Chains A and B, each alone.
Chain A
C-alpha cells in the first residue's frame, strides 16, 4: 500500500506492507536516530513524535500514521546548533552510551511544549517510560530541568 509520511517537514511517498512498523520504515528512510531495543513497547528507545505526542514506533503500524506529522531527533537541532535539551544532556553527562537519548530528547521536548516549567516529579513521570541502563537517571532529569529554564528565558528563540 502507498502512504505519505511527513518526517521533520520532508514528505515521503512510500510503498509499504500493511504490517510494517513505523520503526523499520523510518530507519529504512534513513532516520537512524529511531532505534530498536525491546521491540515490544516497553523501553521508550524508539520514541518519535506523531502530531507532537510521543509514540513508540516499534509498535505503531506505519499505515496508521499515514499523512501525519512525524518528528525525529534529526529534525530538532538547527544545523550545528543543538536543541537546549541536547545541550543540557551533554553538560550534565546525561548521555553515556547514548542509545536511549533520541527517545529521551523527544519525550522531554513533548513535555516542555505542554509544560514549560515542570517539577522534578513531572519530569520523572513524563519520562518514566524511557529506560536508561547507563546513567541512573539523575543527570538526565537535571538536564530536562535545565533545558526548561533555558527555553523559558528571554534569550531563547
Chain B
C-alpha cells in the first residue's frame, strides 16, 4: 500500500473525513435534527401476540383524545403486497408484506398507525385502541416451521415469490459441482458436523426514523435514515400508489446502519400519515422497536461434511443449511446464497461441492440484511469444520487452511454458479494477498509459539485460533452506481453521487478519487450524496459496493470531465491537446503556456465558448473482486466459570489499495468488534410466546471498551487492477471471521468444540462440567 500510494497525490492518504468537522462539533446533521414545524408524531400500535388474526379494532376512544389527528388500521389503507428489502429491481425477495394487515405474524408487528400533535397524546391513544385478536398457534423455531401440520404463516392469497407457502419455506436453493457423494467415498478422512449461529441485532445508535411532508407543489418529501434512498423511493411509490416523480427521498448523515437500514421500515408509516392528513409527520422508533420490529440477522444452521485425502487436500465439501427469515422474507434467498457464495470459493481446490437448503418463516422478528449478509454464518460452519478436520489429520489447522485456500490467478466455479438470487459471474483472482495476510497475522499473534500449548494462568487456560475469510465488492452485473461532476468558476467541482455515506466515509473516498483524477486538492471537491431529486442513481450502501462500484463511477465521471477540460484548454490556448497536461489545478503546455482551471472555467461560463463543464458516468461491476482476510484470536478461558477473555484479536486484510487507510482500518476494526460481540456477548432471548426479551442495551450486550483485550488490525499491500486506483471494498469482511477464530481458540485452550454460537460463559461452563464427569 505504501509504495503504490506514493504515486498518488490524494488517494492512498489518510485524509480526514469531509463531514468529520460537523460530526465532532455535534452539528444538526441527522434526520431527527431536522425541525419540521407542525410535524405530527407518529406511533405504531404493535401486536402483543406472535401469530393472530385481528377480529376487530375499536379506535373510537383513541380518536376522541385531544391532539389525536389520525388513526389508521388495515381497513384504512390499501392492501398492496411488497417486500421491505432495499435491493435491485425486481427484488429477489418475496412480496409478502403489507403496510397493515388483518393478520399479525410476530410480537411487534404493526396493527395501527397513530398520529397526534404531541407524543403524550400519541402514547395515550396507543393505550386506548381496543383490539380483539383470534390467537393462532405460533411457530417459534426453524425446525418446527417445516413440520407436517405446522401453522401456515403466509396463507394469504396475494403474496408472491414465496417458494412453498404451505410448508413455510420462503426460499430454497440447491447447487452441486462434481459428484460429492462419489468424491467423499474416495476420501481418506470424512467428517460431518452441525454448526448453528444465532441471530444478532444491528444496534445502530441512531434509531430508525423519518420525517415526511408535502412541498408547495404537493410532492412528498421524505427525509430518512436509510442506506438505500433510491430503493426507498421506488418501494414507497408502490405502497403509496404515488408516481416516482412525486416522491423525493433525502438522506442526511446517518447514525449507523450495518444493513439494518437496507430495508424500508419506518418510512411508509409517516408517509401514509402525510398523504392522509396533508400534514408533516415524524416517526422515531424507540430502542425496543428498533430491536424487535426492524430487522435482525438470519439465524442459520448448517450440516456440513468435508472430505480430504491423507495429505490434507480437501476434495469435497457439502453444506446443507436452514435459515430463519422470521415473519417476513426480505433478503431471505440472497443472504442464504451469500453464506455459500462468499465462503466456499475460499477453498477452491475441491473436486466436488454441494450447497443447498431452505429459508423458513417463523413467528419471530423479520430477519434482513446485516453486514456480512450470510457469509459469517456460512464461514462459522466451513472454517470450524476444516479446523476439526485438521485435528483429525493431526496437522496445524492454519497449515491446512493455507494449503487449500485460493490464491492470485486462481478461480472457483462457484463464482459463476452462485450470484445473489440468480447466477453469478465467473472471475479470476487478479489480486489476492491472502498469504501475506496469514504471514503477518501469524507472526503478530505468535501462532507457532502458542498453539497447542494450553498455557495456564491460575484457573485460566490460553489458546489461539485462526480463520480465513473473503467477501466481495458489489453485486456484479446488478449493482449500478452513477456520479455527476460539474465544474465551478473557482476551479472547484460539485460531486453528486447516489452512493450513500452511512458513516463509512464513502463521501470522502469518492472525493479523493475525483481529486486524484482531476489533480486538484481534496478541498476543491464538494460532495453531495443521496438525494433522489438531485443526485444520479446508485443502489445504495450495501454488498461492499460503494468503494468499488460507486468509486469506479466517480473515476469515469472525473475522467470525462478531465477530457473536456483538456479539449477546451487546447482550443483556448490554441495548442494541440496531446501537448497539454493537467496538474496542480493548471493546464500546462509543453511550450510553457498555461491556463488555470479557475480562469478556464470562468471564461467558458461567462465570455468564451460558453458551456457548463460537467459529466455523468455510470458503472456496473463486471466482476466482484473479493477482499481477503486472515484473523487470529488469542483467548483465556476460566475453567472455573467458563468465562472467555479475549486477549487479542488480530486481523490483516487485503482490500487492494486502501484509498484512505485510516477509514479502511476503521471499517476493519469496527466490523471485527461487531464480530467479537456476536461471538461472546450478544445473545437474543425470546419469551415462550415469542417476545424478544433482550430489546435494550441492558439486556442485549453490545461490547464496551472493557470487553476485550487488544484489537490489532492491519492492511497488506495489494492492487486490484479493476478497482478505482487499485481498490477493493472492505466494509463487511471484518465481521466474518471473529466467531470461527474465537471458537477455534476456545478449542485450542480447552479441547471443547462449541458448534453453537454465541459462546456464552454458561455454555462453556456446562461443557467443562461434562468433561470433568
With contacts A93-B663, A99-B256, A129-B704 taken as known, whether A40 is within 8 angstroms of B287 at the C-beta atoms is yes
Select which of B23, B205, B287, B665 is within 8 A of A95 by beta carbon: B23
Interface residue tally for chain B (C-beta within 8 Å): 55
- Tell me the complex Cα distance, A99–B21, Å: 13
Contact with A along B651-678 (1 / 0, CB 8 A): 0000000000011011001111110000
Contacts of B186 in A (CB 8 A): none
A134 to B26, Cβ gap below 8 A? no
In the complex, the answer to whether B25 meets A96 with C-beta atoms within 8 Å is: no
Tell me whether A137 and B25 are in contact (CB under 8 A). no
Chain B nearest Cβ from A82, distance in angstroms: 7
Chain A residue contacts of B21, Cβ below 8 A:
82, 90
- Asked if A39 is at the interface (CB within 8 A of a chain B CB), the reply is yes
CB of A145 within 8 Å of the partner chain: no
Closest to A73 in B: B26
Are A136 and B287 closer than 8 Å at their CB atoms? no
Name the CB-closest residue of B to A31.
Answer: B26
Complex CA gap A73/B25 in Å reads 6
A residues within 8 A CB of B257? 97
Minimum CB–CB distance for B501 against chain A, Å: 9
> A42 contacts B26, CB within 8 Å?
no
Instruction: Compute the total of residue contacts between A and B using a CB distance below 8 Å.
Output: 163
A40 touches B698 (CB 8 A): yes
Binds B, one of A62-70, A110-118, A120-128, A148-156: A120-128
Interface residues of chain A: helix, strand, loop or mixed (majority): loop
| A90 and B24 within 8 A (CB) | yes
Which residues of B15-37 are within 8 A (CB) of A?
A: 16-17, 19-30, 32-33
- B258 contact set on A, CB distance < 8 A: 133
In contact, B669 and A136 (Cβ under 8 angstroms) = yes
Q: Is A51 an interface residue (CB 8 A)?
A: no
Answer whether A97 and B502 are a contact pair too, CB < 8 Å, given A86-B24, A86-B25, A90-B17.
yes
Residue of A nearest to B29 (CB): A98
Contact (Cβ within 8 A) B704 A128: yes
Which residue of chain B has the shortest Cβ distance to A98 in the bound complex? B23
Chain A residues whose CB sits within 8 angstroms of the CB of B505 once the complex forms: 93, 96
Query: Would you call B286 an interface residue if the criterion is a C-beta within 8 Å of the partner chain's C-beta atoms?
Result: yes
User: Are A99 and B26 in contact (CB-based, < 8 A)?
Assistant: no
Instruction: Give the shortest distance, in Å, between B560 (CB) and chain A (any CB).
Output: 31
* Residue A57 at the chain B interface, CB threshold 8 Å: no
B704 x A102 contact (CB < 8 A): no
Q: Does B254 contact A (CB under 8 A)?
A: yes
Which of A98, A128, A132 has most B Cβ within 10 Å? A98
Please give the distance in Å from B66's CB to the nearest CB on chain A: 16
**B287 near A37: Cβ-Cβ < 8 Å:** yes
**For residue A37, which residue of chain B has the nearest CB?**
B205
Interface centre among B27, B287, B666 (most CB of A within 10 A): B666
What's the Cα separation between A96 and B253 when bound, in Å? 10
Find out whether the CB atom of B503 lies under 8 angstroms from the CB atom of A98: yes
Within 8 A of B (CB), among A19-77: 32-40, 42-43, 45, 72-74, 76-77
Inter-chain contact A98/B19, CB cutoff 8 Å:
yes
Cβ–Cβ < 8 Å partners of B504 in chain A: 96
Chain B, residue nearest A42 (CB)? B697
A135 adjacent to B24 (CB under 8 Å): no
The reply to whether A136 and B207 form a contact with Cβ atoms under 8 Å apart is no
List, in ascending order, chain B residues with CB within 8 A of A86's CB: 24-25
- With a cutoff of 8 Å between Cβ atoms, the chain B residues found around residue A74 in the complex are 25-26
Size category of the binding interface on chain A: 35 or more
Q: Chain A's nearest CB lies how many Å from the CB of B684?
A: 16
Q: Is B206 an interface residue (CB 8 A)?
A: yes
Cross-chain contact B673 with A136 (CB below 8 angstroms): yes
Contacts of B284 in A (CB 8 A): 36
- Within the complex, the shortest CB–CB distance from B661 to chain A, in Å, comes to 9
Interface string of B406-445 (1 = CB under 8 A from A): 0000000000000000000000000000000000000000
Contacts of B254 in A (CB 8 A): 97
CA–CA, A86 and B287, complex, Å? 27
| B-side contacts of A42, CB under 8 Å | 696-698
Which of B16, B32, B674, B713 counts the most chain A CB atoms within 10 A?
Answer: B16
- The distance in angstroms between the C-alpha atoms of A135 and B706, with both chains bound, is 14
Give the Cβ gap from B72 to chain A, nearest Cβ, in Å. Answer: 25
- Chain A residues with CB below 8 A from B256, complex form: 96-97, 99, 133-134
| Distance of A139 Cα from B24 Cα, bound (Å) | 14
Shortest A125–chain B CB gap in Å is 7
Q: Which residues of B contact A130 (CB under 8 A)?
A: 705
Tell me if B236 counts as interface (CB < 8 A to partner A): no
Instruction: Name the distance in Å between B249's Cβ and chain A's nearest Cβ.
Output: 19
Q: Which residue of B lies closest to A104 (CB)?
A: B24
Contacts of A87 in B (CB 8 A): 24
With contact pairs A33-B27, A73-B26, A137-B673 given, residues A100 and B205 touching in the complex (Cβ less than 8 Å): yes
Contact partners of B29 in chain A: CB under 8 A: 98
Say yes or no: B665 contacts A93, CB within 8 Å.
Answer: yes
Contact A32 B28 (CB under 8 A): yes
Q: Mark B205-244, 1 if CB is under 8 A from A, else 0.
A: 1110000000000000000000000000000000000000
Docked pose: A36 CA to B502 CA in angstroms:
18
User: Which chain A positions have C-beta within 8 A of B207?
Assistant: 36-37
Which of chain B's residues have a CB closer than 8 A to the CB of A35?
30, 32, 205-206, 255
Query: Within 8 Å of chain A (Cβ to Cβ): is B204?
Result: yes
A99-B206 in contact (CB<8A): yes
Q: Is the C-beta of B70 less than 8 angstroms from some C-beta in chain A?
A: no
Residue of A nearest to B667 (CB): A96
Given A95-B17, A139-B666, are A36 and B711 also a contact pair (CB < 8 Å)? no
Distance of A134 Cα from B504 Cα, bound (Å): 9
Kindly state whether residue B369 has any CB partner on chain A within 8 Å. no
Does B669 lie within 8 Å of A37, measured CB to CB? no
Chain B residues, CB < 8 A from A3:
none
Interface residues as binary, B110-140 with A (CB distance below 8 Å gives 1, 0 otherwise): 0000000000000000000000000000000
Tell me if A7 counts as interface (CB < 8 A to partner B). Answer: no
Which B residues lie within 8 Å of A32 (CB)?
Answer: 26-28, 33
| B205 with A97: CB separation less than 8 A | yes
Of the listed residues B24, B25, B254, B669, the one surrounded by the most CB atoms of chain A closer than 10 A to its CB is B24
Chain B residue with Cβ nearest A96: B503
User: Whose C-beta in chain A lies nearest to the C-beta of B671?
Assistant: A136
* Alpha-carbon separation in the docked complex, A100 to B206 (Å): 9
Contact of B670 among A33, A128, A134 (CB under 8 A): A134
Q: Does B270 contact A (CB under 8 A)?
A: no
Judged by a CB distance under 8 angstroms, whether B702 is at the interface is yes
Q: Are B206 and A136 in contact (CB under 8 A)?
A: no
Of the A-B pairs whose beta carbons lie under 8 Å apart in the complex, a sample of 20, sorted by A's number, is A33-B28, A38-B697, A43-B697, A87-B24, A90-B17, A93-B14, A96-B503, A97-B206, A97-B256, A98-B23, A98-B255, A99-B206, A124-B705, A125-B706, A133-B674, A135-B666, A136-B666, A136-B672, A137-B711, A139-B669
3 tightest Cβ-Cβ pairs between the two chains A and B: A33-B26, A97-B503, A98-B23
Q: Which residues of A contact B (CB under 8 A)?
A: 32-40, 42-43, 45, 72-74, 76-77, 82, 86-87, 89-93, 95-102, 105, 123-125, 127-139, 141
Known contacts A32-B26, A133-B203, A138-B669; can you find 12 more A-B pairs with CB under 8 A? A38-B287, A73-B25, A74-B26, A96-B256, A96-B505, A97-B204, A98-B20, A131-B697, A131-B704, A135-B669, A136-B672, A139-B665
- Give the interface of B toward A (CB within 8 A): 14, 16-17, 19-30, 32-33, 202-207, 253-258, 284, 286-287, 502-505, 662-663, 665-666, 669-674, 696-698, 702, 704-706, 711, 713
